[in-house]
């Protein structure tokens, strides 16, 4: 009998008569309605919950764990954050600290974290699909669900969805955000952060409107071909231009150059003083003027020595025109009004020595093989087109080419970019973090016609940048506003005549004042309450370092007495902290007895000499500023308030808050105010 | 009969489509055999969970005569870690360099590098690498801001050490497991919060109670537990 005949016989048996048909349909119905309960019974989460019960059975605190274990689907629901997370259905032990030795997932307790599970749920940080109850759907990328679990190395990006402020626990995110601003990403890409502010670039691409005064066509060519060959620390990316393209751009840039304000000015009559003596004197002047606070030079061992606020000077002698350099040292703003370089009041001799030192910093090999044909009109026209096409003017000012508008894709929501919109390269892992990192590492790999250049970044920097970009999610935008920790982007600029002087000196390139400025030097917001007038006048005249440990130091500006007076008066009036009237401290309590007690406290109880020097002969502490002569420098009220709580006067200071009782703070103040640089007897 | 055959063929085809075949990982054939394997560099590195280690792990295979053996097969094993490449032949100087990506769970990972011996069996060497989670990372940042200037005698271009400027007793290195492992978490937290004198030690360690929160102090302790050498026995501390 064939298979078909057998089947027919069986079928006839079941549907032959009406009762049989009814019975068959009933049984079928019963089976069908059992499908759902069976599937539920065999579901993955029940499997894991059974395993968990087995896991805790033999542990010493089994009874407690069992009591806390809640079977069934567990869910964290936070409507205002759009969180419906069922992760704790399988990850049952997330809050069981006593299981910290368990490494087997899904039973590992959550490691310590800054938020509680019930506050934010899971997917706000980890991504993935919170509502899913199978391993596959919850963790991995499917067609319907494009947000797989975020790899652990990018996890800090999730903090960045709410926190625009700098957190100590997220070094990668912080580095990524610094790089976004430092490498000028935001010149081309608009990046609106979750608090509604735009990422503001902090690099300073120079104006090219007068570039022919500064350098040669050959140097521009070599620089465009490979910026890092000129300066290892250059942030300018490599556009991989052909020789022809680079030569055309160099021709155009030289052709469009107009005379700067500087070129019309009479150069102070300085003769470059040649000879080894001048070079040596220039080298030491470069050091004593603290140029290296901002500029770096590669030493013989190949290490960069100096700051990264301003261009590296290792081969500057191969780049700049000597006349341009002298004019620049005299008045940087006459060449580029927007430069962050202060206008130092260098005298003729200093300019001669500095320029002879800088011009000696050259590399004859750099331009040895660059031979360009004479530029013709076609070449210049091609160069102009390239400058426009590649968006050079997004960063640099160039005559005759306007800055491009919405030149590159907006990255405000890049962390939620749907995968179907992403063009992956064949063979790469098809995830968003891999795409973003890959695009930063080698943009042209995604298409030879793409314009985005290649940046000189390490793997760690790429990962950090990807971390910062992954924070730009859809979720971040829909977060309740009270959760978003914004940082104030203050636009403070000092006003009036002293304000113009402070602009001229570019004080805010290094100092923060009222929330605006660089972070290299101390915050000056409350400086007027802190220091004494006489000390301030002396310091501006000759800035001696207070912190022996620091490598970056305040340069000497050669200010005139009138300038110093104007600046000091302004700072002492405008930069006052609140609560600093003289009544805040009973000065009669600062007597000699109190000072003797204060000395004891200083040396014995609190061992302040571990970090601060009072007596240069025996104290060696190297962390905080020297306190020799502090009685001439700081006001007594400032010292007292500082000792009571340094963090309120300078948030983030290294000085730990010693939690001093009032009496001890007074005694220490009495001791410190008597530390005079030039003792003139004991003053009451 | 024909229909049955067609049905089963279709069924087989469908089922075979379901199985995901793993791409076979071809193990390189060793060209030579050594007797000893040693770590050259790249051990005891610290990185965030799931991150690549900054430097490669380098091991060297030596022969019975003590000379490096080129062409020996070296395999790296550690649960949860990703090695690139997981197996490789030693280069002309007998060395194999591997990039390591840490797992997602914080802690100390013991990497086993092994090479087959000609006599059978394998020679092995263990290197440990450290993965930092959120808490340890926070502790690392805070330590580097407040603590290492005195607790680390090494100076860097950005930070001159204050270690030599202190009067005795000298601060302990945070990696000094022999001293720090026997101390309880509570004692370490107390020293950081209330300063050295809280445990009868030097006042050169100031009190950080007014500067750091309890969670931050715990993070510092978690960090120095993570980098302790010899490693801190986790189970004993709980």
Kindly write down the DSSP assignment for every residue of A598-621, as one continuous string. Answer: HHHIIIIIS-GGGT--SSTTT---
Enumerate the residues of chain A whose CB falls inside 8 A of the CB of residue B202.
607
Instruction: Report the C-alpha gap between A599 and A602 in whole angstroms.
Output: 5
H-assigned helices in A322-473: 322-330, 348-360, 377-389, 432-441, 459-470
Contact B126, B89 (CB under 8 A): no
Region of residue A336 (phi > 0: left; psi between -120 and 50: alpha; otherwise: beta): beta
Q: Does A305 touch chain B (CB under 8 A)?
A: yes
CATH superfamily ID and name for A211-381:
Cytochrome c-like domain (1.10.760.10)
Instruction: Report the C-alpha gap between A311 and A314 in whole angstroms.
Output: 9
Q: By C-alpha distance, which of A225, A257, A239, A256 is closest to A380?
A: A256
Strand partners, A454: A238
Instruction: Report the C-alpha gap between A418 and A421 in whole angstroms.
Output: 6
Instruction: Report the C-alpha gap between A225 and A387 in whole angstroms.
Output: 14
The shortest CB-CB distance from B141 to any of A171, A611, A645 is to A171
Write the CB contacts of A359 (distance below 8 Å, at least 6 apart in sequence): A272, A316, A317, A320, A322, A325
Region of residue A254 (phi > 0: left; psi between -120 and 50: alpha; otherwise: beta): alpha
Substitution target in B109, B138, B143 with the highest count of A β-carbons within 10 Å is B138
Looking at the domain A171-202+410-483, which fold is it?
Immunoglobulin-like (2.60.40)
H-assigned helices in chain B: 2-18, 134-142, 148-151, 177-180, 185-194, 214-226, 234-237
Contact A383, A241 (CB under 8 A): no
A300 pLDDT above the threshold of 90 = no
Pairing state between β B36-41 and A304-306: unpaired
Strand partners, B88: B74
Q: Going by CATH, does the domain composed of B134-237 fall within 3.40.50.10420? A: no
What global pTM score does this model have?
A: 0.86
Mean pLDDT of B207-212: 92
Instruction: Report the C-alpha gap between A468 and A489 in whole angstroms.
Output: 19
pLDDT-derived band at A683, boundaries 50, 70, 90: very low
A269 pLDDT above the threshold of 70 = no
Mean pLDDT of A18-36: 90
Instruction: Report the C-alpha gap between A103 and A214 in whole angstroms.
Output: 62
Q: In this predicted model, which residue has the larger pLDDT, A667 or A267?
A: A667
Q: What is the percent of chain B where pLDDT is above 90?
A: 48
Instruction: Report the C-alpha gap between B159 and B95 in whole angstroms.
Output: 34
Q: What is the percent of chain A where pLDDT is above 70?
A: 95
The shortest CB-CB distance from A169 to any of B134, B166, B218 is to B134
pLDDT at A98: 87
A213-248: pLDDT as tens digits = 999 999 999 999 999 999 999 999 999 999 999 999
Contact B150 A658 (CB under 8 A): no
Q: In this predicted model, which residue has the larger pLDDT, A157 or B157?
A: A157
Contact B162, A621 (CB under 8 A): yes
Distances from the Cα of B101 to the Cαs of A152, A155, B55, B131, B216, in angstroms?
A: 11, 15, 11, 10, 27
Average pLDDT, whole number, for chain B? 86
A626 pLDDT above the threshold of 80 = yes
A144-185: pLDDT as tens digits = 666 788 998 999 999 999 998 888 889 999 999 999 999 989
Contact B207 A622 (CB under 8 A): no
Instruction: Report the C-alpha gap between A510 and A528 in whole angstroms.
Output: 18
The shortest CB-CB distance from A607 to any of B106, B142, B203 is to B203
Chain A residues 459-518 with a CB less than 8 Å from chain B: 459-460, 463
Instruction: Report the C-alpha gap between A366 and A216 in whole angstroms.
Output: 13
Half-sphere exposure for A495 (CA within 13 Å, toward CB): 4
pLDDT at B79: 86
Mean pLDDT of A181-194: 91
Contact A179, A461 (CB under 8 A): yes
User: Do the two domains A171-202+410-483 and A496-574 of this chain adopt the same fold?
Assistant: no
Contact A656 B208 (CB under 8 A): yes
Q: Does A429 touch chain B (CB under 8 A)?
A: no
A309-333: pLDDT as tens digits = 899 999 999 999 999 999 999 999 9
pLDDT-derived band at A190, boundaries 50, 70, 90: very high
Number of Cβ atoms within 10 Å of the Cβ of A609: 21
Instruction: Report the C-alpha gap between A392 and A402 in whole angstroms.
Output: 10
A331-347: pLDDT as tens digits = 999 999 989 899 998 88
Enumerate the residues of chain A whose CB falls inside 8 A of the CB of residue B238.
98, 100-101
H-assigned helices in A257-402: 261-264, 276-288, 322-330, 348-360, 377-389
User: Do the two domains B36-132 and B134-237 of this chain adopt the same fold?
Assistant: no
What H or E segment, with its residue span, contains residue B83? strand B82-84
Instruction: Report the C-alpha gap between A188 and A201 in whole angstroms.
Output: 10
A579 pLDDT above the threshold of 60 = yes
Region of residue A396 (phi > 0: left; psi between -120 and 50: alpha; otherwise: beta): beta
Peptide bond into B230 cis (omega under 30): yes
Dihedral sign for Cα atoms in the order A568, A571, A577, A579: positive
Instruction: Report the C-alpha gap between A528 and B203 in whole angstroms.
Output: 33
Region of residue A290 (phi > 0: left; psi between -120 and 50: alpha; otherwise: beta): left
Q: By C-alpha distance, which of B79, B230, B218, B32 is closest to B138?
A: B218
Instruction: Report the C-alpha gap between A161 and A613 in whole angstroms.
Output: 44
Write the CB contacts of A525 (distance below 8 Å, at least 6 apart in sequence): A512, A513, A514, A515, A575, A577
Strand partners, A309: none
Instruction: Report the C-alpha gap between A681 and A683 in whole angstroms.
Output: 6
Domain regions of chain A by residue span = 3-41, 44-149, 171-202+410-483, 211-381, 496-574, 582-673
Q: Which of the four CATH numbers 1.10.760.10, 3.30.565.10, 2.60.120.260, 1.10.10.10 does domain A582-673 have? A: 1.10.760.10
Chain B residues 4-63 with a CB less than 8 Å from chain A: 4, 48-52, 54
Instruction: Report the C-alpha gap between A275 and A338 in whole angstroms.
Output: 35
Instruction: Report the C-alpha gap between B126 and B109 in whole angstroms.
Output: 10
Burial of B144 (0-12, 13-18, 19+ CB in 10 A): middle
Instruction: Report the C-alpha gap between A160 and A376 in whole angstroms.
Output: 51
Closest approach of A516 to chain B, Cα-based (Å): 23
Q: In the 8-state DSSP scheme, what is residue A238?
A: B
Q: By C-alpha distance, which of A322, A317, A325, A304 is closest to A367?
A: A317
pLDDT at A583: 58
What H or E segment, with its residue span, contains residue A11? helix A3-15
Number of Cβ atoms within 10 Å of the Cβ of B4: 11
Phi, psi of A437 (to 5 degrees): -60, -40
Nearest CA in chain A to B235: A101
B26-39: pLDDT as tens digits = 788 888 888 899 99
pLDDT-derived band at B25, boundaries 50, 70, 90: low
A132 pLDDT above the threshold of 80 = yes
Instruction: Report the C-alpha gap between A414 and A71 in whole angstroms.
Output: 38
Burial of B171 (0-12, 13-18, 19+ CB in 10 A): buried
The shortest CB-CB distance from A3 to any of B4, B166, B209 is to B4
A567 pLDDT above the threshold of 70 = yes
Substitution target in B45, B51, B131 with the highest count of A β-carbons within 10 Å is B51
Substitution target in A607, A624, A648 with the highest count of B β-carbons within 10 Å is A607
Domain regions of chain B by residue span = 36-132, 134-237
Distances from the Cα of A626 to the Cαs of A21, A550, A653, in angstroms?
A: 101, 12, 15
pLDDT at A171: 92
pLDDT at A682: 42
Residues A248-282 as b/e (b if ≥16 CB within 10 A, e otherwise) read bbbbbbbbbbeebebbeeeeeebeeeeeeebbebb
Pairing state between β B122-132 and B46-48: parallel
| Helices and strands, number each (H, E), in chain A | 31, 6
Enumerate the residues of chain B whose CB falls inside 8 A of the CB of residue A657.
209-211
Contact A112 B135 (CB under 8 A): yes
Lowest mean pLDDT among A96-105, A116-125, A502-511, A544-553: A544-553
Q: Going by CATH, does the domain composed of B36-132 fall within 2.60.40.10? A: yes
pLDDT at B238: 31
Contact A475, A121 (CB under 8 A): no
Peptide bond into B85 cis (omega under 30): yes
Residues B192-206 as b/e (b if ≥16 CB within 10 A, e otherwise) read bbbbbbbeeebbbbb
pLDDT at A550: 67
Looking at the domain A496-574, which fold is it?
Cytochrome Bc1 Complex; Chain D, domain 2 (1.10.760)
Distances from the Cα of A512 to the Cαs of A187, A234, A518, A538, in angstroms?
A: 23, 25, 5, 22
Instruction: Report the C-alpha gap between A280 and B153 in whole angstroms.
Output: 34
Residue A633's SS3 state is: helix
Contact B50 A152 (CB under 8 A): yes
């Amino acid at each position: 009998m064939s298979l078909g005949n057998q089947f027919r016989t069986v079928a006839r048996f079941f549907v032959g008569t009406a009762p049989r048909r009814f019975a068959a349909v009933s049984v079928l119905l019963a089976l069908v309605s059992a499908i759902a309960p069976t599937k539920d019974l065999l579901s993955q989460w029940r499997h894991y919950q059974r395993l968990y019960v087995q896991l805790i059975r033999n542990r010493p605190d089994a009874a407690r764990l069992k009591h806390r274990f809640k079977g069934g689907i567990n869910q964290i629901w936070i409507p205002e954050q759009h969180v419906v997370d069922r992760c704790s259905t399988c990850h049952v032990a997330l809050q069981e600290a006593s299981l910290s030795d368990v490494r087997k997932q899904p039973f590992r307790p959550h490691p310590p974290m800054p938020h509680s599970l019930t506050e934010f749920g899971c997917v706000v940080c980890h991504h993935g699909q919170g509502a899913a109850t199978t391993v596959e759907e919850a963790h991995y990328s499917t067609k319907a669900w494009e947000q797989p679990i975020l790899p652990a190395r990018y996890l800090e990006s999730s903090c960045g969805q709410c926190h625009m402020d700098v957190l100590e626990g997220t070094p990668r995110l912080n580095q990524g955000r610094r790089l976004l601003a430092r490498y000028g990403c935001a010149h081309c890409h608009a990046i609106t952060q979750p608090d509604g502010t735009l990422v503001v670039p902090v690099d300073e691409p120079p104006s090219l409107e007068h570039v022919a005064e500064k350098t040669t066509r050959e140097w521009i060519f070599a620089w465009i071909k490979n910026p890092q060959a000129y300066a290892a620390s250059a942030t300018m990316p490599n556009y991989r231009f052909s020789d022809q393209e680079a030569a055309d751009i160099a021709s155009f840039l030289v052709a469009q150059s107009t005379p700067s304000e500087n070129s019309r000015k009479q150069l102070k009559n300085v003769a470059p003083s040649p000879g080894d003596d001048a070079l040596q004197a220039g080298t030491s002047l470069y050091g004593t003027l603290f140029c290296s606070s901002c500029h770096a030079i590669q030493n013989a061992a190949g290490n960069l020595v100096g700051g990264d606020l301003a261009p590296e000077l290792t081969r500057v002698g191969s780049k700049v025109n000597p006349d341009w350099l002298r004019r620049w040292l005299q008045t940087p703003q006459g060449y580029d009004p927007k430069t962050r370089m202060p206008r130092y009041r260098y005298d003729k001799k200093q300019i001669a020595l500095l320029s002879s030192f800088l011009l000696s910093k050259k590399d004859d090999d750099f331009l040895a093989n660059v031979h360009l044909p004479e530029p013709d009109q076609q070449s210049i026209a091609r160069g102009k087109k390239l400058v426009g096409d590649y968006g050079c003017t997004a960063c640099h000012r160039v005559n005759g080419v306007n800055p491009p508008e919405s030149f590159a894709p907006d990255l405000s929501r890049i962390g939620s970019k749907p995968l179907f919109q992403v063009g992956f390269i064949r063979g790469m892992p098809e995830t968003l973090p891999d795409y973003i990192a890959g695009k930063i590492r080698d943009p042209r790999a995604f298409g030879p016609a793409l314009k985005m250049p290649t940046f000189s970044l390490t793997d760690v920097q790429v990962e950090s940048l990807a971390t910062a970009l992954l924070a730009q999610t859809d979720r971040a935008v829909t977060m309740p506003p009270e959760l978003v920790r914004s940082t104030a982007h203050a636009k403070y600029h000092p006003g009036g005549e002293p304000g113009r002087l402070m602009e001229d000196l570019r004080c805010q390139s290094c100092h923060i004042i009222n929330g605006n400025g660089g972070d290299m030097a101390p915050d000056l917001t409350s400086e007027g309450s802190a220091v004494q007038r006489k000390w301030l006048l002396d310091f501006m005249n000759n800035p001696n370092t207070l912190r022996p440990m620091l490598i970056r130091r305040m340069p000497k500006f050669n200010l005139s007495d009138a300038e110093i007076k104007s600046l000091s008066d302004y700072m002492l009036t405008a930069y006052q902290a609140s609560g600093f009237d003289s009544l805040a401290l009973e000065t009669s309590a600062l007597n000699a007895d109190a000072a003797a007690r204060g000395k004891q406290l200083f040396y014995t109880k609190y061992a302040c000499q571990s970090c601060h020097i009072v007596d240069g002969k025996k104290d060696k502490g190297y962390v905080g500023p020297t306190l020799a002569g502090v009685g001439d420098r700081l006001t007594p009220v400032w010292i007292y308030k500082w000792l009571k709580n340094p963090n309120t006067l300078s948030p983030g200071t290294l000085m730990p808050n010693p939690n001093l009782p009032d009496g001890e703070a007074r005694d220490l103040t009495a001791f410190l105010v008597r530390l005079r640089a030039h003792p003139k007897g004991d003053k009451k | 009969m024909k229909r049955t055959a067609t049905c089963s063929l279709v069924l087989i085809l469908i089922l075979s489509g379901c199985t995901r075949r793993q791409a076979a990982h071809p193990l390189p054939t060793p060209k030579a055999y050594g007797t000893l394997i040693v770590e050259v560099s790249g051990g005891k590195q610290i990185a965030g969970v799931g991150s690549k280690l900054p430097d490669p792990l380098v091991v060297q295979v030596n022969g019975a005569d003590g000379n490096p053996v080129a062409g020996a097969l070296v395999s790296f094993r550690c649960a949860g870690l990703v090695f690139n490449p997981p197996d490789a032949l030693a280069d002309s100087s007998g060395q194999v360099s591997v990039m390591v990506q840490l797992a997602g769970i914080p802690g100390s990972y013991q990497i086993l590098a092994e090479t087959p011996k000609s006599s059978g069996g394998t020679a092995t060497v263990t290197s440990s690498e450290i993965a930092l989670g959120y808490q340890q990372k926070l502790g690392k940042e805070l330590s580097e801001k407040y603590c290492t200037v005195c607790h680390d005698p090494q100076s860097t271009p950005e930070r001159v050490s204050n270690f030599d400027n202190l009067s005795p007793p000298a601060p302990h290195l945070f990696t000094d497991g022999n001293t720090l492992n026997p101390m309880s978490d509570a004692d370490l937290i107390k020293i950081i919060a209330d300063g050295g004198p809280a445990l009868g030690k030097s006042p050169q360690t100031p009190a950080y109670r007014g500067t750091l929160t309890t969670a931050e102090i715990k993070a510092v302790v978690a960090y120095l537990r993570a980098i302790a050498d010899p490693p801190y026995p986790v189970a004993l501390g709980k």
